[in-house]
A and B are shown apart, each in its own frame.
Chain A
Amino acid sequence: MVDVLAQRERQVFRKGEDTFNIGCERNSVAGSVSQRACVFCGSRVVLYPIADALHLIHGPIGCAAYTWDIRGALSSGPELHRLSFSTDIQENNVIYGGEKKLYNSLIELIDTHHPKAAFVYATCIVGIIGDDVDAVCKQVAGEKGIPVLPVHSEGFKGTKKDGYRAACEALLKIIGRVATDKISKFSINILGDFNIAGETWVIREYYRRIGVEVVSAITGDGRVEDIGRSHGASLNVVQCSGSMMYLAKQMKEKYGIPFIRVSYFGIEDTSEALFAVARFFNDVGLLERTGLLVESEVERVNRRIRYYREKLKGKKAAIYVGGAFKAFSLIKALHLLGMEVAVVGSQTGNKDDYTRLKDMCLPGTIIVDDSNPVELANFSIEKEVDLFIGGVKERPLAYKLGMGFCDHNHERKQVLAGYEGMVNFAKEVYSSVMSPVWRFSPRKTVGAGNGVD
C-alpha cells in the first residue's frame, strides 16, 4: 500500500485503472521531498558546458559549492566551466548590498581567466537585497569588451523550466554576434545535448559522416564564438526539448530557422533523428549516406546487444528522469532489450508528454509526476522491478531495496547516446541487473542475519 499525499493524488496515474488527466507543471508540494531542484539548477545545467565562459554564481556559497564540477560535460579545449566561482555573499553584503563585490569579482576573474563571455547567475537573495545585476553586468561588459550576461535564476521564481528559459535568454544575447559566412547549406545546430561523457562528439561524427555541417552544439563542448554564429545554420535539431524548445522557437522567430525535435537515445530514435535531418534537406546523396550509416550501425548494434537481450528478457524497470522526453526513448530502448517498464515518471513533464507516456505504456504501468523517495521506492517494490533508471538521488533507493540501477543523468561517465550508446546502455543495465550481489538482498532471500526486519 503506497500512500500518496492528498495534494499529489492527481500526479500519480495507474494505466488501466485511472482515467483523469495527470496533474503536472505545478509547484512542488511543500514537505513532499520532491526530487526536483530549482530555477538556478535549470539555468546552470543548460549553460554549464560552455567551456570558455566564466560562470559566476552571485549569492551565498551553497549554490556554487554544490554545483562544482558536478556534471560530466566534457570539453575538447578550455575547461573554465569545471571551476566554481562565487561572490560568496556574507552577512554584511546582505545588509549593504552585493553589487560592489559582484563588480570586483567579475573584474578580477575576467582579468585572471580571460573568458570569452561571462554568465552571472543571480541566486535566491540577490534581488531581495536590491542588487542591480543587469547594471553591473552592463558596466563590466563595457569595460572588458566581452558579453557579460545576467542569468536571473533565483531558486524560488518558478521551477527548473524557468531556469532553462533564463539560460536561453542569455544564449539569445550571444547568438548573432559572429559573422556567418562559409557555412554549408546542409548545416544544423545541435540543441540540447550537453556532451556528457562526450556524447556531442559521437553525434557530431554521425553528422560528419552523412555530410551535414554542425555549426554549433548548444551547449555541449560549447564555445562562445560558435554559439555566436549559430544563427547561420539552416536547421535547429532539438534534443532535450524541455530545456531548449524556447531557444528553438525564438531562433525561428528571430532568424527564421526551422527546428525539429529528436532524441539520440536508442537505435530507433537515433536513426529517426538522422533521417529527419536528411529528409529536411531532401538531398539524394545525403539521404543515401544516411541510409547506409543507419543500416550498418543498426546491424552492428543488434549484433552487439544480442547477448544482453537474451539475459535481460522479461526483466522489469522503473524510470524516473528530469524531462519526460528522455523517458520516451528509454522505454523504447528497454523494449529493445526485451524489458518491461512498470513505473515511469519525470520531474518536469507536461500534459502532452504524459498523454504520450500513457499511450506508450502497458496497462498496469504507474505514471508519476514530480515524485519523491517514498513513492518511488514503494512503487518499485510493488512492481518488483529489477532495474531503476534515474540520477544520483535515486541510486541509493534502488540499491537499498536490492535493485539494479543505471545512471542516466548528468553524472554518467560513459556515452549513452547514439548507436554506441545503446550498446553501452545494454551493457550497463546488464552489469547491474545480472550482478550476483542481489541474491544477498533481504528482499530476495532469508539468510543468516536477514531473518529480522
Chain B
Amino acid sequence: MASTEKNFTATTNPCKLCAPLGASLVFKGVRDALCLLHGSQGCATYIRRYLISHFREPVDIASSSFAEAAAVFGGGDNLKNALTNVCSQYHPKIIGVATTCLSETIGDNVPMYISEFKKANSRTDLPEIVHISTPSYRGTHMDGFYDSVKALVVSLARAGDRTDQIALFPGFVSPADMRYLKEIVSDFGLPRVMLPDYSETLDGPLWKEYQRIPKGGTTYDEIVSLGRSQAVIEFGHTLKTGRSAGLPLEEYSVHRYTLGLPIGITLSDEFFGVLEQLSGRKMPARYAEERGRLIDSYADAHKYIFEKKAILFGEEDLVIAMASFLFEIGVVPVLCASGSKSGAMEKILSEMGARYGRTISVRGNADFSDILDEAKNLAPDFLVGNSKGYAIARELDIPLIRIGFPVHDRIGGGRLLHLGYRGSQELFDRIVNTIIECTQAKSSVGHSYM
C-alpha cells in the first residue's frame, strides 16, 4: 500500500472547495430557507456561480457585503442589515448564517449579533436563524456541509414521543439520488425525514412566476421532529470519526447507523439490510429485481473491465464508496485522491485494497497537479470524478467518467444517479460502455459487435 504526501507548498488546481459552499448547499435543501454568507460580496457570488454551473438552477445566496469599515469595526451592522433585507425580500422561515474567512479572522461574534438582532426585532415574526462557523481556511466544502447539517440538528431537533420515523442524512449527493432514496425508504413503509433535501430546489421545473425560494426541502417541523426518530441513517465513512449529525441525535436515544454511500452491491446491501431490520420487511420486489439485473450485468460485462485501472478523485466519502464499487466489478482504483484529509480514508481504503489483494495509492490533501504527476506513472485506463478532472483526462488522452460535483461540462449534473442498485446500474453501464467505445474507436477493424 503506497501512500504519498504532497511535497509542494502551494496548491495547484485544487481538488476541494471552501466550507461556505457546503453550507450554502445544505440550506438549499431546507424548505423556505436562505443562506446568508457573512463576509465579502464575492464569496456569495462566486459560490452562486459555481453551483449554477452544475445545477443550472437559480441559486440565491445572500451576503452581508462587507465594506472596509466592517472589517475594521466588525460586521455587526452589516449582518443585521442583511438579515433585515433578506427577511423583507425573501420572507424565509429559516436563515442559515455561515461565516467566511474574513468574518472569522476579524473575530466577529456572530451569535451575539444574531441575539441582538432578535432582541431589536422581538415584536416581529422572525425566522429561525442558525449559525455555522465555516472559515475557508479550515477544512473543505464537506466540512461546511456536514457542520451545517449538524448545526440544524443541534439547534432545532427536540425530544418527544418516539415515532417509527427514520432520519436520513444522505450527505452531498445529487437531487436524483435524493429522490431515489426517498422512494426506497417509502417502499419499505417507513416514514422518514431526509436532511437536507434539495431534490426539488436544485432540479425543478420551469416557473410561471418568479420563486424567491423555490419549493421543496426539509421543513422546519420535520427537523424539529428528528429527535423523535427511531433511528438515524447517515451516509459517509468519514463520519465515523466525527462531524456526524447523527451523533447529537443519540442524546435523544435515536439509534445511529453510519454507513458508506450505498454504491455497488456491497454497500447497497448494507443499506437495504438496515432498512429490512428497521421496517421488519423483506426488500420490496422491485429492488430485489434491480439488484438481480445489476448482478446480471456484472456477469455480462465483467471481461470488458477486469483489471482496468482507474484513477478516482473527489470528496473522501464519495471516493471510498466508489472504490468499493470499482473493486467489486474488477476495476482497480490505482490512485484514490481527495483534496481533504480526515484521516479515515487512508485506513479504510488500505484495508479494502488488502481484501482484494491489490496495491493502490491513496492521497489525502491532494491537488490535481499531484494527481497528474502520479497518474503519468500509473498508465490508467480512465478517470472517475467530477469535471475538474477534465484537464488531466485531456492530457492523458483517457476518458473521464463524470460523477459527483461539479459537472459543469455536461448537461444533467443534478440528474446523475449514483446510489443504490439503480444508481450503480447507471454507473456500471456508463463505465463499461466507455471502455467498449474506446476499444472500438482504437480498432482499425470497425467491429459492429462488441
- Whether B14 lies near A27 (C-beta < 8 A) is no
A69 to B389, CA, bound (A): 12
Number of residues in B with C-beta < 8 Å to the partner?
73
- Residue of chain A at shortest CB distance from B205: A442
- Whether A60 lies near B137 (C-beta < 8 A) is yes
Chain B residues numbered 194-230 whose CB sits less than 8 Å from any CB in chain A: 205-212
- Whether A34 lies near B45 (C-beta < 8 A) is yes
A40 to B67, CA, bound (A): 13
A36 to B60, CA, bound (A): 13
- Residue of chain B at shortest CB distance from A70: B49
A453 to B207, CA, bound (A): 8
- Whether B212 lies near A156 (C-beta < 8 A) is no
Known pairs A373-B58, A400-B207; A5 contacts B68 (CB<8 A): no
- Residue of chain B at shortest CB distance from A398: B58
Contact of B138 (CB < 8 Å), options: A90, A101, A128: A90
Check if A395 is an interface residue, CB within 8 A of chain B.
yes
Stretch at the interface among A104-112, A234-242, A252-260, A264-272: A104-112
Question: Which residues of chain B have C-beta atoms less than 8 A from A381's C-beta?
Answer: 209-210
Known pairs A65-B16, A91-B137, A442-B208; A374 contacts B45 (CB<8 A): no
Give the interface size class of chain A: 35 or more
Contact of B46 (CB < 8 Å), options: A63, A109, A401, A443: A63
A125 to B101, CA, bound (A): 7
Contact of B60 (CB < 8 Å), options: A33, A67, A125, A156: A33
Stretch at the interface among A78-86, A294-302, A360-368: A78-86
Check if A293 is an interface residue, CB within 8 A of chain B.
no
- Residue of chain A at shortest CB distance from B53: A392
Question: Which residues of chain A have C-beta atoms less than 8 A from B157's C-beta?
Answer: none
- Whether B41 lies near A38 (C-beta < 8 A) is yes
Taken residue by residue from 191 to 217, chain A's Cβ proximity to chain B (1 for < 8 Å, 0 otherwise) reads as 000000000000000000000000000
- The A interface, classified by DSSP as helix, strand, loop or mixed, is loop
- Whether A37 lies near B14 (C-beta < 8 A) is no
- Whether A31 lies near B391 (C-beta < 8 A) is no
- Whether B210 lies near A401 (C-beta < 8 A) is yes
B321 to chain A, nearest CB (A): 23
Contact of A66 (CB < 8 Å), options: B39, B50, B89, B90: B50
The 13 listed contacts between A and B (C-beta, < 8 Å) are A27-B67, A29-B85, A30-B81, A31-B82, A41-B42, A62-B46, A62-B101, A63-B46, A65-B14, A66-B46, A373-B60, A377-B210, A443-B207
On B, residues with C-beta under 8 Å from A are 8-14, 16-18, 20-21, 36, 39-50, 52-53, 56-68, 70-71, 78-79, 81-86, 88-90, 100-102, 105-106, 135-138, 140, 205-212, 388, 391
Given pairs A395-B52, A397-B210, 17 additional interface contacts (CB within 8 A): A30-B65, A32-B65, A33-B60, A34-B45, A35-B45, A61-B11, A65-B18, A66-B49, A87-B10, A105-B9, A155-B40, A156-B40, A156-B71, A158-B67, A374-B60, A377-B210, A401-B210
